[in-house]
Structure 1
């Protein structure tokens, strides 16, 4: 999930929707399946090719462009195996891209010479042999939702952005508007196909499942939250909920069914009249509500909402903006859904000065509401810096004061800055902490700090502004959300290289504890098993136990 766009909210009405030896140990290559034809000679795009420029800039964060020696376009798992084999044999660094939504410069790293682009691998089918839904790594979230929903009436509890590729989304856990009701996307992962490289430098594809033990079991587990670009290249996923009826071969019963109707509403908080005390009250209200209503058995398990707090535009000629918007989507099939949603909005607005306005409640079919949420957040594009945090409790008053000061300042260069608090918990928190590699299992909110701008000359100022904001919000714990009573670290799908930089992380807590907590040593062991040559690496990748 990312933040709904300020422009979309302001422009819309208040009622708008709202390893070596593994083969010998019995790890066989992936079974052959029906797949698209290889792209053949078209698979390699070099700087002289007219397609190179578009591929170079295919990504959501316009701060970064990729200028590798070549892009390799894959249509099949065999294409990926061949490309990895070629790169390893030639000693060239490789990176992989599916949707192009990485917020750090993994693909554009100058050390990367070969970029594997999986956009053409976008199939979504039902696999009766595995009794699971097969989704290729290049498939984008909204396409996945449409195909699953129209084909079988099911879905995955993944993110809102329409164009996020499944390849990286699931490896980091994946969460969204249905996660409080159904858990993380990775909680429904049954199997994963990964192209790995053994100690001799040979690439091959293996399939690891939830049922496997030993090395294959560890490979499956590592892909339930261990982050992308760490162990190999994911080419295909298979999804079946762990609670699906045993032996059932009816596809419509193997993944969650979304609600038929979604109710939407919002609280619109004007900037005028919202003083520091009222801002504190707004942040406190939202945090306390989530502390009290985030159990899996709560009647609010079907509610997903966010408090989006916007920066004041630096230019006096810029369009007017609210100080904040609290939006919410609620499972409309509950008989008391409208009452619950109204009570939520009233609790957020209670006692807040500045004349907050509570919208009318609207009803939409689930897929329409999902598409509208995606449109609201995918509208804003540009150059970006992003940071994240898990919250076990709402922010304190001193943290709200920091937000108020920064977001109301005008001494900055940005077009759209925001800090959002998004609903978490519910069914997510019923999974044991180490059952998957997604170990943040007792938080009630997830925070997203984002700055977006357009002018390349503003990069330094804009990045620095967000760095200082985040550092000061977490000043009491060394500039980062150290796992403890109030916070629980960071979300690996929103990677932030500053967590590994002693200038911005003065906590003494290493970056990997923020993202993985006590699961990191196990991820390191999986790394040693499946990527013994450390082929797949980047700034925040899992390090070999005794390596770099």
Structure 2
């Protein structure tokens, strides 16, 4: 480990003690930069204080970088992707775009993971993992075969889909139970055959000027997106090979955007894409993206384009300029949506996205496709309980200065609470909503000032799957070595967020 154990005096220290969101920093006594599983085991077994685990640094909350961290284990050096004896191995520190490049170049396969190129595999996969191929091919964890995990004390185990007893619980806990609760995952194993991505995709990236959106047209836009996903929720729907993102930037941005992608070889692909665009956009005037926001300028995609899959994946994954801001600060909240949004929620969204006192162009509500093949899996088969939702909502704001914290955090919080005013300020599972996505963590779900529903944070993330996660925690980490504010609590522990 010479040269790979850092203290505060090391010039590299600052690069590993904060993630993408600069609101959260840590001051650990030691930063470990392991390159092998035995080195991770050595770091864990030798730790004398609170351990934190970092993969890509994209955690939306302070679960990785917080003031109580004493030993930080950064997995970025463990990024190998290889294949042996019928099994693909992905290092927990690999960035998603690197995973896609290596799997596709080497073997012509992929995993149906997320869009952003720099997200780390470790956090993404343990939380479920989804992206533009998921309506066609399911969640990333639906293809997971095994995990290699360093446990408290430094013991290493490999558990798989074929494991039994307590080992089966440990594997299952890593199929959507979130990171940082059970141990340090060093490798993810995927059995062949893995997903074969489309050879080519049809991609459209369009913007609508806010000047053309009054309240009625806005309702038509968001309502059309929700209705299309409701009508095409089934795994055998003609729309299952298509996924899209509707980026409802605040009016201060000037535009809202829609990015859609479909397997070009799917039956009637061009027609399905056109029908999706028509269902969402109707007769609204559209152009290629021309303003920075969730995605950067895309003037060449004003009309659907046929692109090789890897080229399209690389383009969409790296076209997020806001995430390249080294001073980035952010706030996020999420919701699964099971059925079309009530009119009251659509009106609330319009109100907050047109508030005249908000001028940040990077305040937004983003809708992401869900459903399709995702819904073919039983809610108890993995730790991801939300299987019949049709799309997700992400409430977020990005900014760059400390003095803008209060206004931006307040806007996101108030927007969210108003959207779910009838269920205690959070998306309680029911006819329309279905809780929250653990990979978009939100500490406010544990705060009775912001969650007055009486439904605890863990039921919003995991619903009825939480007791089995607790059982795995009690067996594999009974002393709660691996913990953060919303880590899984051992069975029998007090309710509420994890104490420091």
TM-score bucket (shorter structure): over 0.9
Structure 1 residue 48 corresponds to structure 2 residue 3: no
Please name the residue that 2:135 is paired with.
180
| Aligned partner (choices 201, 207, 229) of residue 268 of structure 1 | 207
Following superposition, the deviation at residue 394 of structure 1 comes to 2.2
Matched, 1:293 2:232: yes
Aligned positions of 1:366-515 closer than 5 A: 366-377=309-320, 379-380=322-323, 381=325, 382-412=328-358, 414-515=360-461
Pair 413,205 (structure 1): closer, same or farther in 2 beyond 3 Å: farther
| Structure 1 residues 311-390: aligned runs within 5 Å | 311-313=250-252, 321-322=254-255, 324-350=256-282, 355-356=285-286, 359-377=302-320, 379-380=322-323, 381=325, 382-390=328-336
Deviations 1:471-520 (Å, cap 9, x if unpaired)? 10111111111001111100000100001111111111111000000000
The more displaced of 405-414 and 472-481 is 405-414
1:389-417 Cα offsets, whole Å, 9 max, x none, are 10001222111111111111132363511
In structure 2, the residue matched to 1:226 is: 177
Distance 2:258 2:78 in 1: 37
Does residue 1:148 correspond to 2:103, yes or no? Answer: yes
Q: Distance in 2 between matches of 1:409 and 1:269?
A: 18
How does the TM-score come out when normalised to structure 1?
Answer: 0.85
1:71 to 16, 28, 31: 31
Task: State how far apart, in whole Å, the 2-side matches of 1:414 and 1:361 are.
Answer: 30
Contact 1:95 1:114 in 2 (8 A): yes
The answer to which of 265-274 and 293-302 deviates more is 265-274
- Output one character per residue of 1:406-445: Cα deviation in whole Å (capped at 9) or x when no partner: 1111323635111011110111110111011111110000
Looking at structure 1, the residues matched to 399 and 315 of structure 2 have their Cα atoms a distance apart, in angstroms, of: 23
TM-superposition CA deviations, 1:139-175 (whole Å, max 9, x none): 1100000000000000000001101111111110000
The one-character-per-residue Cα deviations of 1:123-146 (angstroms, maximum 9, x if unpaired) are 000021xx2101110011000000
State how far apart, in whole Å, the 2-side matches of 1:375 and 1:398 are.
35
Are 1:100 and 2:57 counterparts? yes
Q: 2:115 aligns with which of 145, 160, 170?
A: 160
Cα shift at 1:205: 0.5
C-alpha distance in 1 between matches for 2:267 and 2:479: 57
The partner residue of 2:168 within 187, 195, 217 is: 217
8 Å contact kept, 2:25–2:67: no
Structure-2 separation of matches of 1:378 and 1:77: 34
Q: Distance in 1 between matches of 2:344 and 2:493?
A: 41
Structure 1 gaps, min length 5: 1-39, 241-250, 314-319
Question: What residue in structure 2 maps to residue 195 of structure 1?
Answer: 150
Matched residues, number: 478
Higher alpha-carbon Rg: 1
Q: Secondary structure at the match of 2:72?
A: strand
Higher relative contact order (CA 8 A, sep 6+): 1
Identify the residue that residue 223 of structure 2 maps to in structure 1. 284
Coordinate RMSD, CA, aligned: 1.4
Distance 1:443 1:335 in 2: 24
Q: How many Å separate the matches in 2 of 1:519 and 1:334?
A: 34
Q: Give me the whole-angstrom Cα distance separating, in 1, the residues matched to 2:356 and 2:62.
A: 28
Q: Distance in 2 between matches of 1:205 and 1:426?
A: 36
Query: SS of the residue aligned with 1:513?
Result: helix
- Counterpart Cα distance in 2 of 1:99 and 1:547: 30
What TM-score, normalized by structure 2, do the two folds share? 0.93
Contact 1:415/1:454 (8 A) holds in 2 = no
Q: Which position in structure 2 is the counterpart of 1:80?
A: 40
2:68 to 107, 111, 116: 111
- Aligned to 2:53, the other structure's residue is in SS state strand
Q: Which 4+ stretches in 1 moved above 6 angstroms?
A: none
Do the aligned residues in 1 keep the contact of 2:55 with 2:76 (CA within 8 Å)? yes
| 1:302 corresponds to | 241
Cα distance in 2 for residues equivalent to 1:220 and 1:335 = 36
Q: Is the Cα–Cα contact under 8 Å of residues 267 and 349 in structure 1 kept in the other structure?
A: no
Unpaired stretches in structure 2, ≥5 consecutive residues: 289-301, 495-500
Task: Supply the distance in 2 between the matched residues of 1:307 and 1:93 (Cα, whole angstroms).
Answer: 40
Per-residue CA deviation, residues 362-385 of structure 1 (Å, 9 max, x unaligned), is 110000111111122354341011
C-alpha contact (below 8 Å) 1:413/1:462 kept by paired residues: no
- Cα distance 1:413–1:347, how it changes in 2: closer, same or farther (>3 A)? closer
Check whether the contact 1:415–1:453 (CA below 8 A) recurs between aligned residues: no
Separation in 2, partners of 1:378, 1:270: 20
CA distance in 2, matches of 1:427, 1:157: 11
1:4 corresponds to = none
- Secondary structure of 1:541's counterpart equals coil
Deviation at residue 62 of structure 1 after TM alignment = 1.7
Residues 251, 361 of structure 2: 8 Å contact kept: no
Contact 1:161 1:378 survives alignment (8 Å): no
